[in-house]
Amino acid sequence: EAEVAQSPRYKITEKSQAVAFWCDPISGHATLYWYRQILGQGPELLVQFQDESVVDDSQLPKDRFSAERLKGVDSTLKIQPAELGDSAMYLCASSRGWTENTDTQYFGPGTRLTVL
Amino acid sequence: AQSVTQLGSHVSVSEGALVLLRCNYSSSVPPYLFWYVQYPNQGLQLLLKYTSAATLVKGINGFEAEFKKSETSFHLTKPSAHMSDAAEYFCAVSSYSSASKIIFGSGTRLSIRP
């Protein structure tokens, strides 16, 4: 069964350092999502791509966060500089990109970031 | 704006007992509703979803949920809890006009007592 891949699974960094997370969606999935999940809360959407284009980045803190999906396949989320409040699980999800209600988001295992 | 409220951040039941996790939603348009499960240090897995067809939705692992418009509820149930059901459960909402924009609740941690 195809899965969404993410790396690294765990990342520890010091504040003010740069970090990057990678996501490889399920093959053929046009839509890719990055979520942030703070401990004890539900996931919140940071950015959504349709192929290589950003569809929604309204909740992305653009002063320090950036995301790209250059060839419309895998994606990278970067934080520079990291702050203590960025400690969270970063989840990637993908879907076929259908507009019908049958489209389903499939989640990767996440990257747990700890900022010291 | 859409939102979901999950009643109870932690629910504990005995193995073999009924599981009931509560979710109420708020939406100005007909909603799509979801339940996801998250095991420790893993991503989310879709249990079931309601998209305006049958109001009683059956999902994986023996779970089901009923959409009640009059009560704005979408509670998750399972007749008999198993130890492997211990996890975090998230209720979520989206809509036809923005089907991909899913808003998650804060989650309910389910513990199973032997």
Summarize pLDDT for A85-106 with one digit per residue, the tens.
999 999 999 998 766 656 789 9
Summarize pLDDT for B29-76 with one digit per residue, the tens.
888 999 999 998 788 999 999 987 788 999 999 999 999 999 999 999
| CA–CA separation, A41 and B44 (whole Å) | 13
- Flag if A56 and B101 touch (Cβ within 8 Å): yes
- Flag if B43 and A93 touch (Cβ within 8 Å): yes
pLDDT over 80 at B109, yes or no: yes
| CA–CA separation, B13 and A52 (whole Å) | 46
Within 59-88 of B, beta carbons closer than 8 Å to A belong to none
| CA–CA separation, A112 and A31 (whole Å) | 22
Residue A7: C-alpha distances to residues A11, A46, A55, A74, B104 (Å)? 9, 18, 23, 11, 24
Give the DSSP letter string of B30-90.
PEEEEEEEE-TTS-EEEEEEE-SS-SEEE-GGG-EEEEEGGGTEEEEEESS--GGG-EEEE
Considering only residues B99 and B65, tell me which one the structure prediction assigns the higher pLDDT.
B65
pLDDT over 90 at B95, yes or no: no
Residue B74 has phi, psi (to 5 degrees) of -150, 65
pLDDT over 90 at B97, yes or no: no
What is the model's pLDDT at position B42?
83
